[in-house]
Chains A and B, each alone.
Chain A
């Protein structure tokens, strides 16, 4: 790490595995409760109270899984790439561990996005899969996750593994804007984004409010899953240190 401390203090605290282990331990229950409340309330709202779509009928309710999963799969990738870059630049071990923890979660969320998309496509488009720009770029995202997991587990040395996967993750980052703009750049069956920062959603509020609840719920779930994996990673890598020894024997 650089000698001059020009970053805020919390940045250096984050670099301490022990501090991270303690703080995630304190944060976990809040995120866990928020995730359960949001996901249960959101799912009941989505399935029972939200109105059916006038064109798609009740198959429209798949949106409440599909959109949050798709957003989360991309956010998770961005976090993984940024954490990997921080690990490369500042040699921060915790950042490497965050990046490593993101990959398996992101891969399963990408599967969820693809699977619910296929299930929704069948009654809506009449086909499980089409080789459309949005679907293909999302499939590439899934393969990127798989590649990153494989590369990370193929390299024995933890630091070399982290560096190689960080580079791969950064190269793959080019796919994220492709996914986002695929619906504008190419002719596609896929409908455009539901949420944008600049405009109100095209659907009525009885439809998009539960969707927003589900999106936030998915983010809280991700925070829990990521922190659990991060803590495991910290204990494993710091197993020789005295505080982990005390944690295990104590």
Chain B
């Protein structure tokens, strides 16, 4: 471990803002790149299911 206490860990030797901001942006980029296509997939399935119901010939 490179830190004596939790406060020191958060402070990062005075560079806390820079370090934590970098990791926060990375988290946002990674999570959004996974969540976006998953939500898109849901939307595609809903739309296509609706289209199939509409196009089904009435018997």
Contact = CB atoms under 8 A, between A and B. Distances in A.
A66 B22 contact: yes
A244 interface: yes
Given A49-B1, A112-B25, A62 B18 contact: yes
Given A48-B2, A59-B18, A228-B41, A235 B48 contact: yes
Nearest to B50: A248
Interface string B22-49: 1101100110111001101100110011
B7 interface: no
Majority SS at the chain B contact face: helix
Interface of B: 1-3, 9, 12-16, 18-19, 21-23, 25-26, 29-30, 32-34, 37-38, 40-41, 44-45, 48-49, 51-52
Interface of A: 39, 43, 47-52, 57-59, 61-62, 65-66, 69, 105, 108-109, 111-112, 115-116, 119-120, 122-123, 221, 224-225, 228-229, 231-232, 235-236, 239, 244-245, 248-249
Given A50-B2, A65-B23, 18 more contacts: A39-B30, A48-B9, A58-B16, A62-B22, A65-B25, A69-B26, A105-B33, A108-B29, A109-B29, A111-B29, A112-B26, A116-B26, A123-B18, A228-B37, A235-B45, A248-B52, A249-B49, A249-B52
A119 B18 contact: yes
B26 A65 contact: yes
Given A62-B22, A119-B22, A225 B13 contact: no
Contact of B52 (A39, A119, A245): A245
Contacts of B30: 39, 221
